[in-house]
Amino acid sequence: MADAVEAPAQPETPQATREQFAAELQRYITAFGASGGEWFAAGKSFEDCQAEQLSALREQLEAARAENAELQARIDAVQLGEAEPEEFGDDTGEQAPEKAKSLAGGFANRIRINGASHN
């Protein structure tokens, strides 16, 4: 057994420094918010986190589009009035209103009291 081949030694994985760990954690938190810290602690890769966030954002977008369509349908269902404005008669009739010299005079001319004159 002297001829046995020795397995090559596995290179040691370099240990991450505290600064590298903090920088990587901050990268996850910056990109994915509070969920990023949880995903980092769970050991998810950055690419997996991106895919998960993309999926969540697509779901939010579809929900917002559905809500928008529902609200637009509710707005469209509201009757806002007639398509054409109504036409009313004009007041250019035979009896033109008397122009008042003051507000009190104009108001006083509109009051009619039955009975004796009160001048």
Provide the domain count of the chain.
1
Structure tokens at 100: 């008042």
27 vs 108, which has greater pLDDT?
Answer: 27
Q: Could you tell me where the DSSP H helices lie in 9-116?
A: 18-32, 34-42, 46-77, 103-108
Inside any domain, residue 83: no
Distance, CA of 93 to CA of 28 (rounded, Å): 80
Inside any domain, residue 94: no
Eight-state DSSP code of residue 110 = T
Contacts of 32 (CB under 8 A, 6+ apart): 39, 49, 53
End-to-end Cα spacing for the chain: 141
Inside any domain, residue 60: yes
Inside any domain, residue 90: no
Inside any domain, residue 111: no
pLDDT digits (tens, 9 = 90+) for 4-34: 566 666 666 677 788 999 999 999 999 999 8
Inside any domain, residue 7: no
Inside any domain, residue 64: yes
Closest CA to 110 of 95, 98, 92: 98
pLDDT digits (tens, 9 = 90+) for 39-98: 999 999 999 999 999 999 999 999 999 999 999 999 988 888 888 888 877 666 565 555
Range of the domain at 56: 16-78
Q: Note the pLDDT of residue 81.
A: 81
Inside any domain, residue 118: no
